[in-house]
Amino acid sequence: MKMTARFLLSLALLVGVFSGTVRSETDFKRTEDVIYGRKFGTALTLDVFQPARPNGVGVIFVVSGGWFSSHDSINVGWLRPFLARGDTCFAVVHGSQPKFQIPEAMQDLQRSIRFIRYHAADYGVDPHKFGITGGSAGGHLSLIIGTQGGPGKPDAKDPVDRESSAVQAVACLFPPTDFLNYGKEGEDGVGFGILKGFKAAFGPRSDTAEGRRELGREISPIYFITAHLPPTLIIHGDADPLVPIQQSELFVQKAKEAGATAKLVVRAGQGHGWKDLTPDLELCADWFDEYLRGIKK
């Protein structure tokens, strides 16, 4: 699939925004290409970042922009505020479009968290203190886990699949949340309209109106909000041309109506990502400190 200019822009913002601000390798230990699963003969991998003084918290960073994911897109800069607090970070690469579609990426994220929880003791993290973060498509998949993460299958042959894929906190940036009402009520965003350049990520089910309705509900985290949603922070620019801020507004509104803890931080005049996300990632790290460690600033 030919990448659109807007797609490339979103990747540049998510991957390159921290150029030149990566921490020294002496501050943490990085283990690359840990295999958390396989499909169709392909390994699914994550990188583990262990800080010098770990605090027991595990932070899952969803490596995804436009539902495109690759090892080369892992940005250590995004992890810096978390590593500085002592959080152990897991940069998860999911099956990427155009080969794999969003529902498959959702399954990959579920598998990755079950794998991390199964190996929690090996990585020195508390299996009851998991947070998840990401931006754009990574934010969308973070909310998928926040709303749909849950118990594994007790009788699964693979012990990893017996573990829970739930997280205890979510902190993400400018995520799509409702593809059936994308920017306004009734607006189809299932590979259409604003998101037509990402059609490959939605797959052949997006070819028909009925397929789009079914798929749109399946992959929209807003339809899975309950009172059990983990504490969720969303940061979003109010001039975002790719993911309308309405997406975050609706999600937070419905989460509060359900009785869950949710907060939206609006960045006035900002689009789909901005030059310096460090202060916003510090807010995400604060959120995890509060809800995973009981430390409130």
Residue 105 maps to which CATH number? 3.40.50.1820
**How many other β-carbons are positioned within 10 Å of the β-carbon of residue 290?**
15
Domain membership of residue 153 (yes or no) is yes
Q: Please give the tally of structural domains in the chain.
A: 1
Domain membership of residue 242 (yes or no) is yes
Domain membership of residue 22 (yes or no) is no
Is residue 7 classed exposed, middle or buried when 0-12, 13-18 and 19+ CB atoms within 10 A define those classes?
Answer: buried
Domain membership of residue 66 (yes or no) is yes
**How many other β-carbons are positioned within 10 Å of the β-carbon of residue 52?**
10
Mean pLDDT of the chain: 92
Domain membership of residue 267 (yes or no) is yes
How would residue 144 be classed by pLDDT, with cut points 50, 70 and 90?
very high
- Minimum mean pLDDT range among 72-76, 136-140, 221-225, 288-292: 72-76
Note if the pTM is more than 0.85: yes
Domain membership of residue 292 (yes or no) is no
What is residue 297's predicted lDDT score, i.e. its pLDDT?
80
Q: What's the domain range around 183?
A: 5-17+27-287
How would residue 25 be classed by pLDDT, with cut points 50, 70 and 90?
low
Cα–Cα dist 258/110, whole Å: 24
Of the chain, the end-to-end C-alpha distance in Å amounts to 46
- Has residue 45 got a pLDDT over 50? yes
Nearest-Å Rg of the Cα atoms of the chain is: 18
CA atoms within 13 A on the CB side of 147: 25
Domain membership of residue 294 (yes or no) is no
Domain membership of residue 234 (yes or no) is yes
What is residue 18's predicted lDDT score, i.e. its pLDDT?
38
